[in-house]
């Protein structure tokens, strides 16, 4: 039983073909390096900001860290077999920057690259398409010590690392994602201190936004030029965490709160990437706070290097109010209020509201405003799983969550959104950042004592749904 649910959610969902999803719809599972690999000090890997953050008292639940995680570094062939057993066609994973380029400078580390080459071998043997994310939050600590993402040089360092990775693996991998969720890197990392490196300076966070995007653009340029020169097939994208912002009432304040939430959460990334300009309303809001994005001549051209696909990580939509609970439009710092309002909806173990129709709304809005093909690069849910005495995990809540969100994707397609794939987050229970190992997002359970993997009911449902939909 999940005691986070305020209203019941799980239904009895049985596998069936998903109407409207074509045979070539891409099905995948997703992971990230630091969350699963372990082997933190092996084969030349240097610490990332997450290794440091985990060792800072009070930052991660129970002081846990990714030193061992799912021990995927040593169990990789078995894990790829597991992926294959799930019948997915695509595996989204990230490369660990501090493995491939220890310290974030200098030449590639052959041993770091070897791990990913072996992973590509295993995937190839089982006809699973690799989908690489270059940066899923593990900035080499040495680069944070030199200023981190608020420093412009980090964008150049990222482009250099991307070049090393693409030079080594680009002949074998078509699908490349530059960044995972730059909002989290910038805001949780530098404004709220809720993720590594744990800094709290809003101005620095805004500089980080621009330098993350610049790094994305510089890397994109390099990948595009190199793919063309070498005649390599490339599908290039970025993954953003996107949601929906719904006003609580039809007041002007609530509309403004939604504008700000959408502006700082979504448009500040989507607009420069696809249109080569930051949203004017957000630039004006920042100016009122004496903050200017550190844009230099030519940056926006680099940042708007054309992409082939937009990766969408979706977990929930949010209801917003533009006033405090007491009704004031300004907060204690004198800033306009942008307040998420709780609804009486079922929730996951993260306390996140379950809002599948918001995914349909989001995909239609992205289609209309930005027009890029999309792939859901992450969607899934943590629940407090229970293992039955005979070792089964009847995670009906998670299965229902997946079914409802896949149906939402099919709905969006039926209404004209060009959504081409869906990747479940996550293959395995893993290191859920500041929540440590407490929150289980896997469709496969990991027993952290033994490292044993067990398919949850949701994994079996996902596997059968994929098979039935493909054969339909």
> Given the rule CB under 6 A, which of 8-16, 167-175, 177-185, 192-200 is the region that contacts ligand FCB?
177-185
Please, which residues have CB within 8 angstroms of residue 462's CB and are 6 or more apart in sequence? 86, 402, 424, 443
Residue 156's nearest CA partner among 302, 272, 268, 273 is 302
- 181 binds ligand FCB, rule: CB under 6 A: yes
Q: How far is the CB of 276 from ligand FCB (least distance, A)?
A: 26
How far is residue 419's CA from residue 257's CA, in Å, rounded to a whole number? 28
Of residues 12 through 51, those in contact with ligand FCB by CB under 6 A are 32, 35
Q: How far is the CB of 379 from ligand FCB (least distance, A)?
A: 9
> Given the rule CB under 6 A, which of 4-12, 145-153, 179-187, 325-333 is the region that contacts ligand FCB?
179-187
Q: How far is the CB of 34 from ligand FCB (least distance, A)?
A: 9
DSSP letter, residue 389: T
Which CB atom, from 181 or from 385, has the smaller least distance to ligand FCB? 181
Which CB atom, from 101 or from 241, has the smaller least distance to ligand FCB? 241
- 433 binds ligand FCB, rule: CB under 6 A: yes
CA angle 52, 71, 439 (to 5 degrees): 70
Q: How far is the CB of 432 from ligand FCB (least distance, A)?
A: 6
* Residue 408-427 contact track with ligand FCB, rule CB under 6 A, x = bound: -----------------x--
Catalytic annotation, pick one of 37, 64, 353, 378: 378
Cβ-contact 279, 207 below 8 angstroms = no
Per DSSP bridges, beta strands 444-447 and 452-455 are antiparallel
- 184 binds ligand FCB, rule: CB under 6 A: yes
Of residues 361 through 380, those in contact with ligand FCB by CB under 6 A are 378
Could you give the dihedral angle defined by the CA atoms of residues 140, 145, 149 and 150, in that order, rounded to the nearest 10 degrees? Answer: 180
Residue 276's nearest CA partner among 295, 250, 248 is 295
Cβ-contact 261, 285 below 8 angstroms = no
How far is residue 31's CA from residue 44's CA, in Å, rounded to a whole number? 22
Check whether the bond before 426 is cis (ω within 30° of 0).
Answer: yes
Which CB atom, from 239 or from 469, has the smaller least distance to ligand FCB? 239
Q: Does residue 378 have an active-site annotation?
A: yes
- 434 binds ligand FCB, rule: CB under 6 A: no
Q: How far is the CB of 262 from ligand FCB (least distance, A)?
A: 18
Q: Which of 176, 269, 441, 461 binds ligand FCB (CB under 6 A)?
A: 441
Q: Which residue has the tokens 């690259």?
A: 113
Q: Which two tokens stand for residue 427?
A: 């293959």
- 185 binds ligand FCB, rule: CB under 6 A: no
Which CB atom, from 181 or from 253, has the smaller least distance to ligand FCB? 181
Catalytic annotation, pick one of 37, 181, 353, 432: 181
How far is residue 372's CA from residue 228's CA, in Å, rounded to a whole number? 21
Which CB atom, from 286 or from 381, has the smaller least distance to ligand FCB? 381
Distance in angstroms between the alpha carbons of the first and the last residue of the chain: 34
Q: Does residue 181 have an active-site annotation?
A: yes
Please, which residues have CB within 8 angstroms of residue 114's CB and are 6 or more apart in sequence? 43
**In residues, how long is the chain?**
472
* Residue 311-340 contact track with ligand FCB, rule CB under 6 A, x = bound: --x---------------------------
How far is residue 7's CA from residue 15's CA, in Å, rounded to a whole number? 24
Q: How far is the CB of 384 from ligand FCB (least distance, A)?
A: 15
Q: Which of 64, 299, 429, 432 binds ligand FCB (CB under 6 A)?
A: 432
How far is residue 263's CA from residue 282's CA, in Å, rounded to a whole number? 6
Q: Which helix (H) or strand (E) holds 222?
A: helix 202-230
Q: Which of 2, 90, 241, 321 binds ligand FCB (CB under 6 A)?
A: 241
Which CB atom, from 135 or from 461, has the smaller least distance to ligand FCB? 135
DSSP letter, residue 140: B
- 180 binds ligand FCB, rule: CB under 6 A: yes
Question: For binding to ligand FCB (CB under 6 A), which residues are involved?
Answer: 32, 35, 180-181, 184, 241, 313, 378, 425, 432-433, 441
Which residues are known to be catalytic?
181, 378
């Amino acid at each position: 039983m999940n005691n986070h649910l305020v209203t019941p959610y799980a239904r009895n969902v049985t596998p069936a073909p998903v109407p409207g999803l074509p045979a070539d719809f891409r099905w995948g599972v997703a992971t990230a390096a630091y969350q699963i690999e372990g082997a933190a000090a092996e084969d030349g890997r240097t610490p990332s900001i997450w290794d440091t953050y985990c060792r800072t008292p009070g930052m991660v639940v129970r002081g846990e860290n990714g030193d061992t995680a799912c021990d995927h570094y040593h169990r990789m062939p078995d894990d790829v077999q597991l992926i294959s057993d799930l019948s997915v066609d695509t595996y989204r994973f990230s490369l660990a920057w501090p493995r491939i380029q220890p310290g974030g400078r200098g030449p590639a580390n052959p041993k770091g690259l070897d791990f990913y080459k072996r992973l590509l071998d295993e995937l190839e043997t089982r006809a699973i398409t690799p989908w690489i994310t270059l940066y899923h939050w593990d900035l080499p600590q040495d680069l944070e010590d030199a200023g981190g993402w608020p420093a412009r040089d980090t964008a150049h360092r990222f482009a250099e690392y991307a070049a090393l990775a693409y030079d080594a693996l680009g002949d074998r991998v078509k699908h490349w994602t530059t960044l995972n969720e730059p909002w989290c890197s910038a805001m949780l990392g530098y404004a709220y201190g809720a993720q590594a490196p744990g800094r709290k300076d809003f101005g620095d966070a805004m500089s980080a936004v621009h330098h993350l995007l610049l790094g994305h653009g510089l890397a994109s340029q390099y990948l595009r030029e190199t793919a063309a020169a070498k005649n390599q097939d490339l599908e290039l994208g970025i993954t953003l965490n996107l949601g929906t912002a719904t006003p609580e009432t039809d007041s002007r304040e609530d509309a403004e709160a939604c504008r700000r939430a959408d502006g700082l959460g979504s448009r500040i990334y989507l607009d420069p990437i696809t249109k080569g300009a930051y949203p004017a309303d957000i630039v004006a809001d920042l100016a009122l706070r004496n903050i200017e994005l550190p844009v230099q001549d030519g940056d926006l051209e680099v940042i708007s290097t054309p992409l082939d696909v937009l990766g969408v990580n979706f977990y929930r939509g949010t209801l917003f109010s533009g006033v405090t609970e007491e009704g004031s439009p300004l907060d204690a710092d004198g800033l306009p209020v942008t307040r998420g309002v709780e609804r009486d909806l079922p929730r996951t173990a993260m306390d996140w509201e379950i809002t599948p129709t918001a995914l349909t709304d989001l995909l239609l809005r992205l289609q209309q405003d930005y027009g890029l093909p999309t792939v859901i690069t992450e969607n899934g849910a943590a629940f407090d799983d229970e293992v039955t005495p005979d070792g089964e995990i009847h995670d009906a809540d998670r299965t229902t969550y997946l079914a409802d969100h896949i149906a939402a994707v099919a709905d969006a397609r039926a209404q004209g959104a060009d959504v081409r794939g869906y990747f479940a987050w996550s293959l395995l229970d893993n290191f859920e950042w500041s929540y440590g190992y407490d929150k289980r997002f896997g469709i496969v359970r990991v027993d952290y004592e033994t490292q044993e993997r067990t398919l949850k009911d949701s994994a079996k449902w996902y596997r059968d749904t994929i098979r039935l939909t493909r054969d339909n």
